Structure 1
Amino acid sequence: MLKRVAGTLLAALSIGALATAPAHAIQADFTGIVALNNCSGSVVRPPAAKDTDPALVMSNGHCVKFMGANEVILNQASSRTFTLLNGAGQSLGTLRATKLAYATMKDTDVSFYQLSQTYAQIQQQFGSRALVMNTTRPAAGSSIQVVSGYWKRIYNCRVDGFAYQLKEDVWTWRDSVRYASQSTCNTIGGTSGSPVIDTASGRVVAVNNTANESGGRCTLNNPCEVSQSGQVTVRSGYKYGQQIYNIPACIGAGNQFTLTAAGCTLPR
């Protein structure tokens, strides 16, 4: 679970290895992707954001820390840094946060850092654009790509379905997206926080966060699915992400999180 870097991983098995995408799909690159010291992330913008708004970096809540099951962080000062990549996965420079705008591991596993630079300033200084957040659910069977800034690797996957609840250790996530377990979708530690990009639109539809690694039942590194009727299903080897289509409703003018906004369903 919580697929940030843990222990020692063999970089030679993953850095720079790009799986082959379907010919009809939009091939993602590393534009807008960032590397954290322990995870992956991306510079994202809600569809209504302005170029003059302070930019946001999205990652996982567990990339901030292993948070309490009901913990929510809002507008906490932060100076965390991120390495911004170009399309080829090479470093363009460093971005710095001014605050942790939002983070939680309740119902979802997501974090948003607000940066010291606007989208326009990042474009002017680095020639880099942000990834646009989608406001609709991904469809079952659709082609997606998980783009890891930490490993500089792109994983080609397919939406296998959705989990009503995903339970792992003390955490419960809702309406998680499940990726088909296939050779090109073998995400590893360090891919936590990677954007999940729909290849038809090029927009971000989820944030990668966990996988059932060894067939365990509802334990750390082995999440289980719980249906609406309470039936528990274990899918060994399958990967999961948290949908983000509902989050733009929580982001208002100036990219400020407003959890009381109409349509906002994020925990508070």
Structure 2
Amino acid sequence: MRKVLLTTSLAVVATITAVVPAQAIRGGVEAPAPYAFSGSLQRPDSPRDDGHTCGVTLIAPSWAVTAGHCTKNNPSGAQVGRPKDWTVRLGTTDAGSGGEVIAVERFITYSPYPVHEGDVGLLKLKKPAKTKPVALPSARPAEGTRVRILGWGMTCDRRAPECYPKKLREADTVMQPVQACDGIHAERELCVGALDGSVAATNMDSGGPGLVRDGDGWLIAGVVSGSGGDDRPVMYTDLSYFKAWINDVVTGKIDPPDTPVPNLEGGAIVGGVCSASVVRTDRTRPGDPALLLTNGHCVPQRPAPGQTLTDVPVDVPVTIGDRQGYPQAKARTTTLVHATMTGTDTALYRLDQTYAQLRAKGVKIFRLAGRSARPGEQVDIVSAGNGDRFRCTIEAVVPHLREEGYTQDDAYRYDPECKPSHGGSGSPIVLRDGVTVVGVHSTGNDNGEQCTANNPCEVAADGTVSVHQGVRYGSRI
């Protein structure tokens, strides 16, 4: 997959891949004045204090355009939906203040596979903006056309406050031949920036505009989509190619239904990398610090084979989702109570909030089962990391599951149609009552290899080793 220019801390969906280290609007300067029609998509799951995730541009009083991977990058990966606490901030040079802030009522993505079939998305605002929209182009800009690019993209390759510019940056560059961008879809994408990449968009500039002159004003030719290769220009979605679809959506001629969303209530993300859930026992009291269950391989310092970590101070962020997967509450871990990858692949954290505090915020709390799941029993895997709820059957209990020097005992093997993937590690395995947790999802055999990383093998009671490519496994608790 090509690399898109977006980072996020909430979810990793299928169209989002690793990002390229770069400088914010490389070769640019701080914008001396705001662009009334241009702004920032701001979300509570942003890793930044100012909430910025993507660039947006107002194209009608109640509609803004951005990259499709910015709208599709929501907790469930829905193509069309009604987000929680998304806003756009228009007409300011400061992503964290000023301008006009309007809530987003709905997002509509052109394709369920935006990077490959058309990387454009629309945001319907809850009220019309006061400012004048920018016009769409009537035709594709010619090679050599001067382009002005804008954005609040990262200034270095770390997710850290010092890498997030507060002020809008801009640069003047040129429309390049499509051959200058690797992996471009020539019929519907533009190649924008210096040939050596010294002037170009970068991480978190996704959805930001490429503007061309229209007399004394501007037209928006495209929006930032993805990297054109190291030290290359950047690919922009050509809005002239999608103009008819955009106009049909804005005028109401096309009004797609919301994408059905699975019930993700209680699914959590820990450390920005693994799924998890808040769990209680029969002896839990409301005033007790809440406990968070995930995988042993998800902790910052993995336990070695045969090792169990106990009572280790650990501070990592936790986001707990609502029914649609949007953030219901945020917390932090204080202590790694217990973690191991031997016998079982599980970890238990203590949080900085009590059960009562989390319940007051509407958080769903799961109950730890007093037994294991049985072969043939139906379960749900609630995966915040995958943005999905998998309905599965425990096909078998495997005596030993071996992977990269580690061994799990009595691991769950799911039916072949059960496919939680990477990012789903640590997801609770829940009985059909919807609240009782009997395990955590842990691994799967990707490539058919034997006993290697991401390719566990089964070891029967008599020592016989077998490999089941594509099959997924969970750990008992």
Shorter-chain TM-score: which interval?
Answer: 0.7 to 0.9
2:436 maps to amino acid: R
In 2: Cα distance, 1:85 partner to 1:200 partner: 19
Find the residue that maps to 2:285 and give its secondary structure: coil
Matched with 1:130 is: 365
In 2: Cα distance, 1:14 partner to 1:89 partner: 8
Matched with 1:149 is: 384
In 2: Cα distance, 1:177 partner to 1:47 partner: 24
In 2: Cα distance, 1:110 partner to 1:82 partner: 17
Unpaired runs of 5+ residues, structure 2, are 1-11, 17-71, 79-261
More divergent stretch after superposition (28-37 vs 69-78): 28-37
Matched with 2:15 is: 10
In 2: Cα distance, 1:79 partner to 1:227 partner: 39
Q: Whose Rg is larger?
A: 2
Q: CA 1:224–1:116 in 2, change beyond 3 Å: closer, same or farther? A: same
In 1: Cα distance, 2:449 partner to 2:416 partner: 16
Structure 1 residue 150: Cα displacement: 1.9
Question: Deviation string for 1:40-98 (max 9, x for gaps)?
Answer: 00001112211121100111011014331112111111121101111221112311111
Of the candidates 94, 106, 119, which is equivalent to residue 330 of structure 2?
A: 94
Higher relative contact order (CA 8 A, sep 6+): 1
Matched with 1:29 is: 263
Matched with 1:223 is: 456
Matches within 5 A, 1:163-202: 163-182=398-417, 185-200=418-433, 202=435
Determine if contact 1:105/1:171 at 8 Å carries over to the other structure: yes
Structure 1 residue 8: Cα displacement: 9.1
Q: CA 1:181–1:123 in 2, change beyond 3 Å: closer, same or farther? A: same
- Indicate yes or no: 2:435 matched with 1:214: no
Determine if contact 1:61/1:67 at 8 Å carries over to the other structure: yes
Corresponding pairs, count: 227
Q: CA 1:13–1:95 in 2, change beyond 3 Å: closer, same or farther? A: closer
Matched with 1:248 is: none
Matches within 5 A, 1:61-76: 61-64=296-299, 65-76=301-312
- Indicate yes or no: 2:281 matched with 1:46: yes
Q: CA 1:243–1:14 in 2, change beyond 3 Å: closer, same or farther? A: farther
Q: CA 1:45–1:112 in 2, change beyond 3 Å: closer, same or farther? A: same
Structure 1 residue 14: Cα displacement: 9.8
Q: CA 1:14–1:148 in 2, change beyond 3 Å: closer, same or farther? A: farther
Question: Deviation string for 1:91-136 (max 9, x for gaps)?
Answer: 1231111111111111111111101111011111x12231001111
Find the residue that maps to 2:297 and give its secondary structure: helix
Find the residue that maps to 2:357 and give its secondary structure: helix
Determine if contact 1:95/1:115 at 8 Å carries over to the other structure: yes
Determine if contact 1:60/1:110 at 8 Å carries over to the other structure: yes
Structure 1 residue 227: Cα displacement: 1.1
- Indicate yes or no: 2:470 matched with 1:237: yes
Structure 1 residue 151: Cα displacement: 2.8
Q: CA 1:13–1:232 in 2, change beyond 3 Å: closer, same or farther? A: farther
Q: CA 1:141–1:14 in 2, change beyond 3 Å: closer, same or farther? A: farther
In 2: Cα distance, 1:201 partner to 1:153 partner: 14
- Indicate yes or no: 2:295 matched with 1:60: yes
In 2: Cα distance, 1:17 partner to 1:199 partner: 24
Determine if contact 1:14/1:151 at 8 Å carries over to the other structure: no
Matched with 2:318 is: 82
1:157 maps to amino acid: C
Structure 1 residue 200: Cα displacement: 4.2
TM-score with structure 2 length normalisation? 0.45
Find the residue that maps to 2:397 and give its secondary structure: strand
Determine if contact 1:145/1:154 at 8 Å carries over to the other structure: yes
Q: CA 1:188–1:13 in 2, change beyond 3 Å: closer, same or farther? A: farther
In 2: Cα distance, 1:14 partner to 1:220 partner: 29
Identity of aligned residues (%): 31
Determine if contact 1:44/1:55 at 8 Å carries over to the other structure: yes
Question: Deviation string for 1:7-45 (max 9, x for gaps)?
Answer: 995356995269xxxxxxxxx833322112111000011
Determine if contact 1:119/1:129 at 8 Å carries over to the other structure: no
Root-mean-square deviation (CA, aligned residues, Å) is: 2.2
